[in-house]
Amino acid sequence: MIDRQLKLVQLFLNNQSSYLTSDEIATYLNVSNRTARNDIKIVNMSLLAELIISVKAKGYTLNTARYTIEDIEAALQRFSLQDSNHLVQLGYRLLMHHTIVTLTDLEQQFCFTKRELLDYLERLRMWCDKFEVDIHIKKRKGIIVEGSETAINNAILHLNQLATQHVRVEDLILNELPEAHVCTIRQIFKTNLQAEQLSTSDIQIEQLMIHLILIMKRHQSNAQSWHLNEEALVISRGIIEEINHRLGYDLNDDTSQLFSFFIGYHFNKFELTFEKLFIDSYIQQLILKMEAKMHIPFSQDVILKDNLTEHFSRTYLRIIKEVYMNNPLTSEIKTLYPYVFNVLFDIVQTLSQRADITLSEDEIAFLTIHFQASIDRNEVTRVHMVICCYYGLGISQLLETKLTTLNRHIKVQDTLQYDNLATYSFEGVDVLVMTHDIDVEVPSYVDVIKISPLLSEKDQHQIQSLVKQKLNPTITSHDMSSIPIKVITAKSYQSLPELFDRAHDILMACHAVQEDYIHTALLREKASSTYIGHGVTMPHGDPDKVLKSHVLIFKHSEGFYWQEHEVKLVFFLAITPQDIHMNKQLMHVLAQLDDSAVEHLSRLDEVAFKQEIFGLIQG
């Protein structure tokens, strides 16, 4: 069975009390009537016998007399699990081994039909693209995998992204060696490391095992460039020598050089000299930019700085040596903390232009956890205020004291004279507090509130209400009315590039973005998928290239592949810097959607869809 046939079964589950004609099925699947009938035959042969039956003069329906809905859903789940297993195993076969294989070879090895194999290869090709690895079929040769060794190794380590939690690429890598050899090498690791008084864990031993096998099985260049530390090299040489002696291997000193990096990395056997200056500077810039964007005093969190410095020192080593680690929690982190991740991503991209250092989405996910931990440690979120008082410095200082005493969340960032208001930079400011009317234009994201010089009881209630709204923001109908939202039924779009082209046409026709905005969104998507789970993705580009905020929602009831994921709702967020405060609420709400909510929303008409989305966003 191929992915289209799984969608066919899901179509019947969604319409379990109805009859569907072959024309309706063909339209839904975007295939011919003949292909639709053939797909029904394949489902009945491959999933459950006589699952879909034909009733004369009515159409096709599920055979609920023979199977319960629970039976059908369980069978579909089992097949989907098997499907993801096949995808990982096929990807591993193509990426891990250098030999060129033909379609016929793979059909025989995996017992696929040609159609099934081509379906898997297309899904793999889309997924590999983000690692800068190309899979294509060459006539009279076979399937060709092209990419640098570093890129291919990186893709191998991330194959788990294609599967459920029941499949581990680590197990496939370990199976490259006989089980008895793996056990012996594990013991050699433990003995040699304990002799150096280095404490180990089973996870560290497995990671060392994985990387040694990759070094052994895949060509690595320039072994000396991986050398970190003489002590680590001595330990590595001892381990490799014992492996050769006990197992009859012929691993050379290049292997020892390469493997010494992982000894040094896992057990802190490395020295940082001038690199420490760069690391300290990078961390400082990262913290300050996050503080400015999120209005949280990260620079006051000593624990955050220490943790980031320790973590980023190891990250920097990985990057300069072009060694990639898989973060198994990346997808979950992006779903749980989408706003923090996306703010970090944009800042890291900006820093990369100056520092000539690029972080992968796995690395950014690690950093996200550190910043989220800081947010959780310092629950007191600040509302940044600026006071502009006509009555002079004395009243301004009195107001500052009264405001900060009134609510612990208030931070008075500055006090101004009226003459300086027109030229003041309001970056990082939430509220402008005035004691009189003004005729100076301030940024739209800054709330302006007028109070009496001595802060009356009415003023206090007004301030408290505003602070509460700032701490628990919701997007009002007024906010939403200022941003055009277009809903596009996307049945005709079957790929990410097609959808981006359509988004470009719509946004340009509305004079909403600069010409190269979509290019920045594509680069953003390639660097780190904006998929957040449950068939939802939120692509976006550089806010500085947005002229007027727009939200495009592409609704695809049957779904299509967004890299390795199937999506049904695409929220294209073209948001200006002035409206960026709305992104947090949008991302938070969209990340809460589950499979049933997405399935329900994807089948609504445009009017009902907009009403439900607005209701969700506004709480």
Domain 383-471 fold is: Rossmann fold (3.40.50)
pLDDT digits (tens, 9 = 90+) for 479-494: 566 788 888 887 666 6
Structure tokens at 616: 């969700």
Q: What is the pLDDT of residue 154?
A: 87
- CA R_g for the chain: 29
Region 505-526 average pLDDT: 92
- Name the band, by pLDDT with cuts 50, 70 and 90, for residue 332: confident
Region 309-326 average pLDDT: 80
| 321 or 199, greater pLDDT | 199
What is the CATH architecture of 74-174? Orthogonal Bundle (1.10)
Neighbours of 512 (CB within 10 A): 18
The rounded distance, in Å, linking the Cα atoms of 475 and 617 is 6
Domain 176-267 fold is: PTS-regulatory domain, PRD (1.10.1790)
**Which residues, other chains included, contact 379 with Cβ-Cβ below 8 Å and sequence gap of 6+?**
none
- Helix axes 3-14 and 33-46, enclosed angle (nearest 10): 90
Beta bridge partners of 55: 59
Q: What is the pLDDT of residue 472?
A: 64
Relative to beta strand 550-562, strand 565-574 is antiparallel
Give the torsion sign (CA, 61, 115, 152, 516): negative
Query: Of the CATH numbers 1.10.620.20, 1.20.1260.10, 1.10.10.10, 3.30.70.260, which one belongs to the domain with range 3-67?
Result: 1.10.10.10
Res 166 pLDDT > 80 = no
120: number of CA atoms within 13 Å, CB side? 29
Neighbours of 59 (CB within 10 A): 15
The residue with tokens 């920097």 is 316
Q: What is the DSSP letter of 31?
A: S
Relative to beta strand 410-416, strand 383-388 is parallel
CATH superfamily label, 274-378: PRD domain (1.10.1790.10)
Check for a shared fold between 74-174 and 274-378.
Answer: no
Q: What is the four-CA torsion angle of 198, 201, 206, 207, rounded to 10 degrees?
A: -70
Res 377 pLDDT > 90 = no
Question: What percentage of the chain carries pLDDT values higher than 70?
Answer: 93
Question: Cα dist. 18→38, 284, 539 in Å?
Answer: 20, 61, 36
21: number of CA atoms within 13 Å, CB side? 5
Q: What is the CATH number of domain 485-618?
A: 3.40.930.10
The rounded distance, in Å, linking the Cα atoms of 544 and 547 is 8
Asked if 535 contacts 598 with a C-beta cutoff of 8 angstroms, the reply is yes
Region 403-407 average pLDDT: 90
DSSP string, 156-214: HHTGGGGS-TT--HHHHHHTTS-HHHHHHHHHHHHHHHHHTT----HHHHHHHHHHHHH
Name the burial class of residue 284, with classes exposed (0-12), middle (13-18) and buried (19+) by CB atoms within 10 angstroms of its CB. middle
Res 579 pLDDT > 60 = yes
**Which residues, other chains included, contact 277 with Cβ-Cβ below 8 Å and sequence gap of 6+?**
none
pTM of the model: 0.64
- Per-domain boundaries in the chain: 3-67, 74-174, 176-267, 274-378, 383-471, 485-618
pLDDT digits (tens, 9 = 90+) for 241-267: 999 999 999 999 989 988 988 888 777
User: Within the chain, what is the greatest distance between any pair of CA atoms?
Assistant: 89
Look at 62-76, 332-346, 427-441, 487-501 and tell me which has the smallest mean pLDDT.
487-501
Cα 173 from chain centroid (whole Å): 25
Res 272 pLDDT > 80 = no
